[in-house]
């Protein structure tokens, strides 16, 4: 399968190619730095790094953050107040409904060594090529997968030997926020999970997540 590659993939590939990668999402749960083997690059989706309990320091090699976080009026607002607590080696800003230039200013508190961007056009084209079908829309949970599931596809496209996700969920809430906010993108995330399993791609989803996706998919028909 020929994959369309945004320019940011070069930086990501240098970190994850031919390696087993730990991916952390922000689903409710207790996560500790020791949960992620030091020999595996750690990749965090959006502000998931805030959910790591500090049993020891662990800086994510990559954080992939969606510009929707810069303008979200619900979970985004309290998350934006915590951005100065995030440190990452590579920050990849993925454009969604909020323009990159505006989001970049809001994400300035995030400490990082390198910043890359993926434009909305690049994101949409990548998804369509990788998933082998047109998107029904360019943004929004009814049309595109969440940042966590998008990140899985990016890691696979960048040559990760295996992706081991933690903190991905099809239910509400965030590991680092006390208030429970609704989770979007559920149907599209189920579609991506089923695509990955059908293709036999090297992603170790938890049995709980697989069972949830099966139940949700069955309810659709």
Beta-carbon count within 10 A of 133 CB: 11
User: What number of residues does the chain have?
Assistant: 221
- Would you state the pLDDT for residue 55? 64
φ/ψ of residue 33, rounded to 5: -55, -35
Q: Are 215 and 117 in contact (CB under 8 A)?
A: no
- Would you state the pLDDT for residue 221? 45
- Would you state the pLDDT for residue 219? 60
Beta-carbon count within 10 A of 38 CB: 11
Q: Cα torsion for 179, 210, 136, 97, to the nearest 10°?
A: 30
Quote the CA–CA distance of 218 and 221 in Å, as a whole number.
6
- Is 9-219 assigned to CATH 3.90.1480? yes
Q: Please tell me the pTM assigned to this model.
A: 0.94
The series of mean pLDDT values per 10 residues for the chain, 221 residues long, is 82 98 95 94 97 85 97 92 97 95 97 98 96 92 93 97 94 90 88 95 94 73 45
Supply 185's token pair.
């993108």
- Would you state the pLDDT for residue 145? 96
Domain boundaries along the sequence of the chain? 9-219
């Amino acid at each position: 399968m020929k994959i369309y590659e945004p320019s940011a993939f070069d930086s990501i590939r240098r970190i994850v190619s031919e390696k087993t990668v730990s991916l952390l999402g922000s689903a409710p749960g207790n996560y500790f730095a020791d949960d992620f083997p030091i020999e595996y690059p750690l990749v965090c989706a959006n502000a998931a790094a805030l959910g790591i309990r500090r049993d020891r320091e662990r800086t994510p090699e990559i954080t992939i953050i969606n510009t929707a976080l810069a303008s979200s009026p619900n979970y985004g607002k309290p998350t934006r107040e915590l951005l100065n607590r995030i440190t990452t080696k590579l920050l990849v800003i993925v454009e969604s409904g909020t323009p990159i230039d505006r989001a970049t200013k809001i994400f300035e508190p995030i400490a990082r060594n390198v910043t890359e961007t993926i434009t909305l056009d690049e994101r949409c084209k990548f998804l369509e090529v990788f998933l082998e079908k047109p998107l029904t829309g360019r943004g929004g949970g009814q049309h595109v997968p969440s940042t966590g599931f998008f990140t899985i596809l990016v890691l696979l496209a960048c040559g990760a030997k295996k992706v081991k996700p933690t903190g991905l969920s099809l239910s509400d809430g965030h590991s680092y926020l006390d208030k429970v906010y609704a989770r979007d993108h559920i149907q599209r995330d189920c579609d991506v999970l089923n695509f990955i399993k059908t293709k036999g791609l090297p992603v170790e989803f938890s049995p709980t997540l697989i069972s949830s996706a099966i139940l949700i998919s069955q309810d659709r028909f």
